[in-house]
């Protein structure tokens, strides 16, 4: 039995939540391995809709759900999200949920710094969610983070607080803000500590045991490869590595545990926030895609920018992340278009490119080269087999996999869990 690693192959918002939920019902453990509560997943199960941003999607099905060390954890958000799900009838306890004890914490001072920077940046803002993700990762690599395990030793935190506050007080002074209130911060940590610590453990040990038993592990990524801090559209990226290789370092298991890499790919392209977007449509077609696809961020509620499918970007993402097969989502949004377009290359100052360049100026200047395909008048919504799809929709799927040089493993045709066409089972590969 293979383990499965799920990543977004575009700029996030590809529909990972539904696919992960579908896979989680067949997994024995689900692991979040990077990001924070800036990731939004919407799950539709029967007549219930669950909105997750930090908890692994498996928690809804009662599957063992683990927050790995690669995640930055806001303990107050965690408590609120758990309370909300429990209010919807989801049972969360120490048997089905665990947090890596070496997971860094997002503190109020991180949220403060995030907001201050974005406000001061003006037109140069990155477009963060303002939730403190970036500053928390900075403190992690700066070796001044407070981690989950520190919550059990708050009386011995003075030296760490000295390092942390020395850094943040200087930054806050630059923005005309007062120093960190250490006493208030410590009081907040003491209050939240018992709640978090009940779930804390060395999760690498638990995962090792799960793997040794031959169980199926599902690694759940957040955001998308094009937001990866190394491989994305820098500087308009997130603050962590979103590629599949991070599943190993962000969970405590080796790279040979990641198994089948499933890249989630939307049948068109969307992006939230600032940054380059070669196929963006700022016209009635783009608006139609957004309205039909209900393109608003789960976390922020921000309207997503929409455009045609960019095969160049997805091919690049699949290569960088070692994608074994893709799950194509939201195909039904393209129903009814007379013509659908696919970007197959770029022009940059007279030169043809088959890749997306690294420099921001080049990224902003590339012009998409399109291939037009006949659309379809029939509906793909709710299809559960190839026979249910219009012929032109099948041709579109086939052309997509040719251009991205990666086979289609799944096709999702609605937010409902069962409306999925299974071409290749990731767990049986």
Q: Which residues are annotated as a binding site for IMP?
A: 13-16, 38-41, 129, 143, 223, 238, 302
Q: Which residues are annotated as a binding site for GTP?
A: 12-18, 40-42, 304, 330-332, 412-414
φ and ψ at residue 69, rounded to 5 degrees: -65, -15
Among 28, 74, 114, 140, the active-site one is 140
Cis peptide preceding 235, ω within 30 of 0: yes
Our CA dihedral for 115, 148, 254, 262, rounded to 10 degrees, sits at: -50
Tell me 286's DSSP state. Answer: H
From the number of C-beta atoms within 10 Å of its C-beta (0-12, 13-18, 19+), residue 428 rates as exposed
Beta-carbon count within 10 A of 357 CB: 14
Q: How far apart are CA 376 and CA 178, in angstroms?
A: 60
Tell me 52's DSSP state. Answer: E
In angstroms, the Cα distances linking 95 to 27, 29, 74, 99, 368 are 15, 11, 21, 12, 50
Tell me 104's DSSP state. Answer: B
Q: How far apart are CA 92 and CA 98, in angstroms?
A: 10
Among 13, 74, 228, 310, the active-site one is 13
Tell me if residue 13 is catalytic: yes
What is the SS3 assignment for 114? helix
Among 41, 110, 167, 266, the active-site one is 41
Query: Which helix H or strand E contains 321, and what residues bound it?
Result: helix 311-321
Q: Which residues are annotated as a binding site?
A: 12-18, 38-42, 129, 143, 223, 238, 298-304, 330-332, 412-414
Q: How far apart are CA 420 and CA 76, in angstroms?
A: 35
What is the SS3 assignment for 251? coil
Tell me 409's DSSP state. Answer: E
Q: How far apart are CA 51 and CA 59, in angstroms?
A: 12
Beta strand pairing call for 339-348 and 367-374? antiparallel
Tell me if residue 140 is catalytic: yes
CA angle 215, 216, 222 (to 5 degrees): 140
Residues carrying an active site annotation: 13, 41, 140
């Amino acid at each position: 039995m293979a383990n499965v690693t799920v990543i977004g192959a575009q700029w996030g918002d590809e529909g990972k939540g539904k696919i992960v939920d579908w896979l989680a019902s067949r997994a024995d453990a689900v692991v979040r391995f990077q990001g924070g509560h800036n990731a939004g997943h919407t799950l539709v199960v029967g007549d219930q809709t669950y909105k997750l941003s930090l908890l692994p999607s498996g928690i809804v099905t009662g599957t063992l759900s683990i927050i790995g060390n690669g995640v930055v954890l806001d303990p107050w958000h965690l408590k609120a999200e758990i309370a909300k799900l429990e209010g919807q009838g989801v049972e969360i306890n120490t048997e089905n949920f665990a947090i890596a004890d070496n997971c860094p914490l997002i503190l109020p001072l991180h949220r403060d710094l995030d907001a201050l920077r974005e406000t001061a940046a003006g037109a140069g803002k990155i477009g963060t969610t303002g939730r403190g993700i970036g500053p928390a990762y900075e403190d992690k690599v700066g070796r001044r983070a407070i981690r989950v395990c520190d919550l059990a030793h708050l009386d011995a935190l003075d030296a760490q607080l000295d390092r942390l506050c020395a850094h943040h007080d200087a930054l806050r002074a630059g923005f005309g803000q007062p120093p960190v209130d250490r006493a208030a911060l410590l009081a907040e940590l003491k209050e939240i500590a018992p709640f978090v610590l009940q779930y804390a453990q060395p999760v690498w040990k638990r995962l090792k045991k799960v793997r040794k038993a031959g169980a199926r592990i599902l690694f759940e990524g957040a955001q998308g490869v094009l937001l990866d801090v190394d491989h994305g559209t820098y500087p308009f990226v997130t603050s962590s590595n979103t590629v599949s290789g991070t599943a190993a370092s962000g969970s405590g298991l080796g790279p040979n545990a990641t198994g089948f890499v499933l890249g989630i790919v939307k049948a068109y392209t969307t992006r939230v926030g600032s940054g380059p977007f070669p196929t963006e449509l700022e016209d009635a077609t783009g608006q139609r895609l957004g309205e039909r696809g209900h393109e608003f961020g789960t976390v922020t509620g921000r309207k997503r920018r929409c455009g045609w499918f960019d095969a160049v970007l997805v091919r690049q993402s699949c290569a960088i992340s070692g994608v074994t097969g893709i799950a194509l989502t939201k195909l039904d949004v393209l129903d009814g278009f007379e013509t659908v377009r696919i970007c197959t290359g770029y022009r940059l100052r007279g030169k043809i490119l088959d890749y997306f360049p690294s420099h921001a100026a080049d990224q902003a200047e590339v012009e998409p080269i399109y291939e037009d395909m006949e659309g379809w008048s029939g509906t793909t919504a709710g299809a559960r087999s190839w026979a249910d799809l219009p012929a032109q929709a099948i041709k579109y799927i086939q052309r997509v996999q040719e251009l991205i040089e990666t086979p289609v493993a799944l096709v999702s045709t609605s937010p409902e869990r069962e409306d999925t066409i299974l071409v290749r089972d990731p767990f049986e590969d």
